[in-house]
Amino acid sequence: MTNKILMILLLFSVVNVVGQDRNLFNIEIGGLPASSDAVSLKMVEAKLNIPVKLKTGVLINSLSFSSLKLDYEDYQLLNTDELEEFKAVSYSIGYMNRINEKWSYMVNFSPQIASNFEASLTLDDFNFNGGVIFTKTSSNSKLNLGLVINSGFGLAVPLPVISYSKQVNERFSYVLGMPVTKAEYKFNKRNKVSLFVKPKGFIANLSNNIQFENGLAKKARYTSIVSGLSFGHQIDDNWGINFNGGYQLYSNYSLQSNDRTELYDFNTSNGIYASVGLSFNLINNKKRKN
């Protein structure tokens, strides 16, 4: 039983790098209020992860849903009626196994439907995400090396995964590298605080393409780099809640052609954001019992 739990925990530590959550279930609600010249965003994300221990390795199935609502205030330069809400549904399957005592690998494939759903579903509504990551584990540290494609970063190109994490002591740990950098401090078993820098965004299909002088817009893309502070509280053995707040270091919201040529830029400005999340995890209970 202990080996099974350790294998599943190791899997969650790896899949977290490619954009999945280590909790069995979580939901997050957040937003970015608009300044006088910006677009405001409201986002809801929900994820369900189901790990299955195999004879060799672990298989994990994940389902996720996200809804992004945008408020253009008094924006008059473009008709935004069909750009006010985007939805995405993803299924992900990942497999992880050990190579030897120190090295393990994880492969992940995640088809996604992301669109404003203003017309019938087509192949253009699909994004195909995935990645391969190799992890070297030492007594209190991990090195992750790999390559991922994740439209949740707002980019449709392969990105390198290069990160080093270390558990300095029972209270303090950190992760340095790409795509996520984080430092975490645990006050006790129930409360923790972390500082982070990470990418966040989306890519969605425009069901009804928009014609501009310089081309035909088929995709909406939002890319940002956010930094912030997160406070986590473990309500009981299974349920946890997180409060997050921070500032966008970079943001870009644009309409693009299929070849990623930018045809229209909304000139969004950087700003503060906030979110709250609720998570459920049976593994926390198992860890305490073992």
CATH of residue 71: 2.40.160.40
| Conformational region of residue 130, where left means phi above 0, alpha means psi within -120 to 50, and beta covers everything else | left
Is 60 exceeded by the pLDDT of residue 287?
A: no
Give the domain extent around 283: 2-289
Helix runs in the chain, H state only: 2-15, 282-289
Helix (H/G/I), strand (E/B), else coil: 60? strand
What's this model's pTM, rounded to 2 decimal places? 0.84
**Three-state DSSP class for 11?**
helix
What backbone torsions phi and psi does residue 235 show, to the nearest 5 degrees? -65, -45
> Over 90: is that where the pLDDT of 148 sits?
yes
Q: What's the pLDDT score for residue 157?
A: 83
Strand segments (E) across the chain: 25-32, 40-53, 58-71, 85-98, 103-115, 126-137, 141-149, 159-167, 172-178, 181-186, 191-212, 215-234, 239-256, 262-265, 272-280
Alpha-carbon dihedral of residues 257, 262, 263, 264, nearest 10 degrees? 130
Who wins on pLDDT, 122 or 157? 122
Number of domains present in the structure of the chain: 1
Task: Indicate the burial class of 100 (C-beta count within 10 angstroms; 0-12, 13-18, 19 or more).
Answer: exposed
pLDDT at 152: 85
